[in-house]
Amino acid sequence: NEALHEMSKNPKNWVMPTGDYANTRYSPLDQINKDNVKDLRVAWTFSTGVLRGHEGGPLVIDGVMYFNTPFPNIVYALDLNNDGRILWKYEPKQDPNVIPIMCCDTVNRGVAYAPAEGDRPALILQYQADTTLVALDAKTGEVVWSVVNGREKDGSFGESGTSAPMVFKDKVLVGISGGEFGVRGHVTAYNLKDGSLAWRAYSTGPDDEVLMDPEQTTHLGKPVGPNSSLESWEGDQWQTGGGTTWGWYAFDPELNLIYYGTGNPSTWNPVQRPGDNKWSMTIFARDADTGMAKWVYQMTPHDEWDYDGVNETILVDDLEINGQPRKALVHFDRNGFAYTLDRETGELLVAEKYDPVVNWASHVEMDPNSDQYGRPQVVAQYSTHQNGEDTNTTGICPAALGTKDQQPAAYSPKTKLFYVPTNHVCMDYEPYRVSYTAGQPYVGATVSMYPAPGSHGGMGNFIAYDAATGKIVWSKPEQFSVWSGALATAGDVVFYGTLEGYLKAVDLDGNELFKFKTPSGIIGNVNTYEHNGKQYIAVLSGVGGWAGIGLAGGLLQQEGAEAWQQAVAGERAPTDADTAIGTAGLGAVGGYAALADYTTLGGQLTVFAL
């Protein structure tokens, strides 16, 4: 969308969830800088009226701030010219049956904005938990149109919506969640003018549904061949094969390509689904008009660890790789490798670990002449498939929630470095046999998680990474995973939030310059904008997401947390109840139990200024 693209160049506004189509999360604003950030103060706050995990962050468009909440997905428009007065509020009615089919808390990663065009008003688009995509009049909050993207709105097929839509050209793109329920993933483009369907592309299945051309679509430079997805599954397993699309999307207006990644193959039990399980765990480049796949790259063929490939792709033009400037795409995958690709051709340029503890694969094969080209070289000891069903494979790094999950990184064109919120967590993984029933969990593994052994004892790092060379430049340890999106600014400050609830600012060497404890854990993404000549920093608090599910889902009360920690510390013999806590919430409840010592549920926007 030409107008939106232009608007994203004005740093006073924040018009897309990730700042721009390239997902850089960078702002040229520099009023708040490394010398004065220590003087940051809370300017104003706003309670969202909802508890549980608050992901995403506010959009700011010409004096109006828009954001939404977790289920029930209330949308607010606040008037910045009138002290944050509520201009309008939209509260949809949704079937609460969708709550239990959301794997990783009732999160939502934010709303999207579409500028007015012709007689269509400017829109705020929200993709709801029940998979309704609703277009609201940005001025009034009135519903302009609404479509249901999933098969039903009551959770009966295990489908849900958590991702932020992306407005591009005259369309809006949404994905689907439910990889833990055997949902067959797809992305769908709807026409902005009336919500009619433009195109849909599945992650698995026949070529005409995956929108793949056997000759023209390439994987690492070679045509994919006929029905490449079908060939990589046994029987009709692709129909319940996952590859959901709940992460972030990117758009390159010049190449007219859309980029995104697909999630884990279903079930988590790899023994049950032989083959490469294409095109789960894959970065897709698709033609924005037709949805046809131009190229694909599967990062984790035949996943055995739940390393969803949905994390954001960041598009940068100023990286020199082996002395050559490249139109690059950079992706920090759950599997612990950071990938740099040529985004025009899909050529693999760099693939390196961005946490040294990553052990499930030794490296990614980079020799184009090898039959293993582009494939991670799996270390047998950590193969949950090889070890088989009902066998507990221990000490796998990273854990299922990856070296990074949905929390988006930032890129600074000033330093040419990426600032990445990461997890530093390992796991034990025991696959077991499951059968598919629509709307029922189709997980097939028991997982427990713990801080990376033999390291700094914490569960996270905030790092700076050079995607041209594949090197970690610095790494700042954090007690918990950094589950919040980062923001880099021209003031030579980088911001992020922590699960305990701190908003932090660091300098370009990772030294902490400022921290402030907000009312609840932060899993939202830090944004910035300027209003009446003043720069502001805004962030949502509200602990939750997968890492915070113990608190958000009420699976762990403070007493439970203490008892569990005693058992883990060997202060008393573990009981069955301890084991149940340890593996609840798909393994996250035990791992993050200590979080209950630092924070509790909330739902608040905090805005800072000098």
Which residues of the chain form contacts with ligand PQQ (CB under 6 A)?
Answer: 55, 103-105, 107, 162, 177-180, 244, 246, 263-264, 308, 401, 405-406, 545-546
Min separation Cβ 280 and ligand PQQ, Å: 10
Angle among Cα 70, 74, 78 to the nearest 5 degrees reads 120
Q: List, in sequence order, every residue forming a beta bridge with 60; answer none if it has no partner.
A: 14, 65
- Cβ nearer to ligand PQQ, comparing 77 with 104: 104
- Cβ nearer to ligand PQQ, comparing 403 with 535: 403
- Cβ nearer to ligand PQQ, comparing 107 with 349: 107
Min separation Cβ 140 and ligand PQQ, Å: 30
The answer to whether 23 and 312 are in contact (CB under 8 A) is: yes
DSSP per-residue string spanning 385-434: HHH-TT--EEEESS-TT-SS-S---EEETTTTEEEEEEE-EEEEEEE---
Q: Match 């905090």 to its residue by tokens.
A: 606
Q: What are the Cα distances from residue 118, in Å, to 121, 134, 160? A: 8, 20, 32
| Catalytic residue selected from 105, 303, 306, 578 | 306
- Taking only Cα atoms into account, the Rg of the chain, rounded to an integer number of angstroms, comes to 22
- Cβ nearer to ligand PQQ, comparing 247 with 582: 247
Q: Shortest Cβ contact with ligand PQQ: which residue?
A: 179
Cβ-in-10-Å burial (0-12, 13-18, 19+) of 221 comes to middle
Min separation Cβ 405 and ligand PQQ, Å: 5
Q: What are phi and psi of 76, to 5 degrees?
A: -115, 140
Min separation Cβ 45 and ligand PQQ, Å: 23
Min separation Cβ 606 and ligand PQQ, Å: 20
The answer to whether 69 and 58 are in contact (CB under 8 A) is: no
Cβ-in-10-Å burial (0-12, 13-18, 19+) of 209 comes to middle
DSSP per-residue string spanning 489-556: ETTS-EEEE-TTSEEEEE-TT--EEEEEE-SS---SB-EEEEETTEEEEEEEE---TTTTHHHHTT--
Interatomic CA distance for residues 104 and 150, integer angstroms? 18
Q: Which two tokens stand for residue 460?
A: 């996270």
Min separation Cβ 443 and ligand PQQ, Å: 10
Instruction: Judge whether 306 counts as a catalytic residue.
Output: yes
Q: List, in sequence order, every residue forming a beta bridge with 59; answer none if it has no partner.
A: 66
- Cβ nearer to ligand PQQ, comparing 229 with 489: 229
- Cβ nearer to ligand PQQ, comparing 67 with 246: 246
- Cβ nearer to ligand PQQ, comparing 264 with 448: 264
46: nearest Cα among 106, 10, 89: 89
Alpha helix (H) residue ranges in 199-355? 207-210
Min separation Cβ 105 and ligand PQQ, Å: 6
Residues known to be catalytic = 306
